């Protein structure tokens, strides 16, 4: 279970893109910079919404086989969402994905109902449909593709760990997601992540980006800028917990 984040803190995290959060995590977490984010490509169908941040609720979905008695878990999902901290993001593994996708777990009805329970978006390795209606409901989606039907679609498990786009996600995680993909925030990080993200943004602009916009910029100026940036972080007491270059 991740650090308890306040709603205000999650809204502040939302002001950054997901790569900025990945950069800040290198200073705030001992987790490898190779872990915690999607390995497979995602598609953000609502990139104009910016980033989405929320408490994860997981589920599995299947559309290729008719539901049998005891397998219909939508009521359980709604109960879990109702009790989940807000805002929440539903992470759905499509059991039929990637080659057998025939139905979409998200559409107009699912979006409106889940929005009423505090859901701001979904990450699914399956499909979505009713695109315009999802936009109208204000639900953000990272998915594999669009789809016409829901097939025999049904939720077949809730709140179990799932692997989507090559990364394991579990109920209770916090994820940060945008058009680049998604990042699971590690357990050993808290609100200092926000301070670090702000600090990196200010330092990059002052020492690297602003000088590079000036006429006569040289490789020597690049070296000096990087050195000044690193020094400014050290003076502020920030030290990388992982070895990674500046991008």
| DSSP state for residue 205 in the 8-state scheme | I
**146-169 tens-digit pLDDT:** 999 999 999 999 999 999 999 999
Q: What average pLDDT score do residues 52-68 get? A: 95
**77-106 tens-digit pLDDT:** 999 999 999 999 999 999 999 999 999 999
Cα distance between residue 215 and residue 247, in whole Å: 22
Q: Looking at residue 247, what is its pLDDT? A: 52
Q: Looking at residue 68, what is its pLDDT? A: 80
Residue pair 80/58 in contact (Cβ under 8 Å)? The answer is no
CA distances from 241 to 33, 140, 147, 189 (A): 10, 32, 42, 12
Q: Looking at residue 242, what is its pLDDT? A: 58
Average pLDDT over the chain, rounded to an integer: 93
**5-57 tens-digit pLDDT:** 999 999 999 999 999 999 999 999 999 999 999 999 999 999 999 999 999 99
Q: What average pLDDT score do residues 233-244 get? A: 74
Q: Which residue has the higher pLDDT, 155 or 241?
A: 155
Q: Looking at residue 12, what is its pLDDT? A: 96
The beta-strand segments (E) located in 63-173 are: 88-94, 119-124, 127-128, 140-143, 145-146, 154-158, 162-164, 167-169
Domain spans of the chain, in order of start: 7-184, 192-235
What element of type H or E holds 244?
A: none
Q: Using the structure block, give the residue that is written with the tokens 């910079």.
A: 33
Residue 151 CB: number of other CB atoms within 10 A?
20
| DSSP state for residue 190 in the 8-state scheme | -
Number of H helices, E strands in the chain: 8, 12
Q: Looking at residue 1, what is its pLDDT? A: 47
Structure tokens belonging to residue 17: 């893109």
Q: Looking at residue 128, what is its pLDDT? A: 98
Considering the four listed CATH numbers 3.40.50.10090, 3.50.30.40, 3.60.21.10, 3.40.50.2000, the one that applies to the domain covering 7-184 is 3.50.30.40
pTM: 0.92
Cα distance between residue 56 and residue 48, in whole Å: 22
Q: Using the structure block, give the residue that is written with the tokens 């699914």.
A: 124
- Judged by DSSP in three states, 163 sits in strand
């Amino acid at each position: 279970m991740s650090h308890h984040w306040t709603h205000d803190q999650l809204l502040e995290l939302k002001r950054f893109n997901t790569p900025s959060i990945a950069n800040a995590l290198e200073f705030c977490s001992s987790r490898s910079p190779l872990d915690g984010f999607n390995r497979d490509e995602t598609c953000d169908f609502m990139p104009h919404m910016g980033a989405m941040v929320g408490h994860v609720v997981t589920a599995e979905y299947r559309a290729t086989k008719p539901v049998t008695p005891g397998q219909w878990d939508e009521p359980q999902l709604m109960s879990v969402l109702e009790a989940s901290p807000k805002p929440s993001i539903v992470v759905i593994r499509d059991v039929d994905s990637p080659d057998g996708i025939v139905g979409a777990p998200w559409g107009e009805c699912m979006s409106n109902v889940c929005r009423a329970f505090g859901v701001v978006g979904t990450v699914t390795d399956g499909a979505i449909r009713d695109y315009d209606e999802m936009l109208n409901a204000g639900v953000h989606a990272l998915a594999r593709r669009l789809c016409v039907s829901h097939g025999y679609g049904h939720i077949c498990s809730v709140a179990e760990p799932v692997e989507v786009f090559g990364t394991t996600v579990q109920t209770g995680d916090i994820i940060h997601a945008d058009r680049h993909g998604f990042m699971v925030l590690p357990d050993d990080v808290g609100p200092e992540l926000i301070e670090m993200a702000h600090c990196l943004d200010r330092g990059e602009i002052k020492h690297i980006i602003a000088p590079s916009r000036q006429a006569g910029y040289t490789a020597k100026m690049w070296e000096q800028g990087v050195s000044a940036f690193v020094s400014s972080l050290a003076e502020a007491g920030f030290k990388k917990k992982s070895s990674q270059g500046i991008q």
